[in-house]
Structure 1
């Protein structure tokens, strides 16, 4: 079992992360949080715990430095190209770690992090096996949607109509195998009873099928 606070280099930035890999892991899932969130997101950490119990390693990563998060304009939070590049660097970082080098990699993105995950999948097609989006904005991936080669799962709350519509439109632009799952009654943050547990169940099933 690996459990460590880590620093992932990305150009001049040093990104803080939490890496946990259970013994006999089937793969490792790299989390991309949404704007205004961090590796400490209770929702992503809850999903990560379920994935570890299902036999997957997890890397929860801050895609921005503290200074970038504090920038007055907040422009970095919506810079999909920057976020995707840093995810790609994290994929590279996993590849050179002895405890993760042989493990297939999946990406789990929330909100804007979903768009970054999809773009990163096009930048590292050999290493990224699949992408899962939770309440994501895949539409922000733009033309990269048509270039994604790995299977994609989009999970959206049924009571989040605007994001649901954006996901349906994005799904039509995906040429890779994909599925859109709607969690009935769930709003954007999946705070309703049982909603986040359903997200974790869907993600674990998808990674079980497409990762490893």
Structure 2
């Protein structure tokens, strides 16, 4: 994975009010962008994933804006006994993502941009449910190593073009994604399996391939 580099864009740290809490995020809008991708993850980590940062930068290089954030607060992620419950509270995560989307739609610098979601792990299910609820707004969804199966009965109502990217080494996650894809009824849906990769995409060239596939997907529907 290449070193992160600076590119010409508007970049700012933002705080998004969600009920009684605030979610911290990094908002990057390249000059001339016509679309923006919200990264949906629910880990409660103190720092953003370097792989997600790399993917976001690849999006930015291709004229796509990005909002990198965690749908859980650091405090929620730090409560070890409850961490799994928060992580798998798909309804809560999807509601927060919807609120984040509405926040973007009301900002002067982002309200005119086509909206997409990029989900990771359980954030993928949240992204699909939010896309169902905001079907007139969300133009595309993609995920890496996600759990779309957790969206369950919501899958048949998803109308946004959807791409699942998984590592070929993790047969269980591949099966989860195949199961979910079968339940999405729209024609614009794809599953891409990266051979020889796990779902952290640590192998040489794996995260670059994830970025390429996802970037092409969003360029097709957001630009």
Superposition TM-score, scaled by structure 1 size: 0.96
Q: CA deviation at 1:66?
A: 2.1
2:43–2:77 Cα contact (<8 Å) kept: no
Pairing 1:140–2:163 present: no
How far did 1:62 drift? 1.9
Q: How does 1:19-168 map to 2 (within 5 A)?
A: 19-35=27-43, 37=45, 40-71=48-79, 72-74=81-83, 75-168=85-178
Contact 1:35 1:111 in 2 (8 A): no
List structure 1 segments (4+ residues) > 2 angstroms apart after TM superposition.
Answer: 34-39
Unaligned runs of 5+ in 2: 1-8
Matching of residue 184 in structure 1 with residue 195 in structure 2: yes
Gap runs ≥5 in structure 1: none
Asked if the contact 1:152/1:179 (under 8 Å) is kept, the reply is yes
Who is 2:14 aligned against?
6
> CA shift at 1:35, angstroms?
3.6
Question: With structure 2 as the length reference, what TM-score do the two structures score?
Answer: 0.92
Deviation, 1:37, is: 4.5
- Spell out, residue by residue over 1:3-46, the C-alpha distance to the aligned partner (whole angstroms, 9 max, x if none): 11001111111110100000000200000125464661111111
Please report how far the alpha carbon of residue 92 of structure 1 lies from its aligned counterpart in structure 2 after TM superposition. 0.3
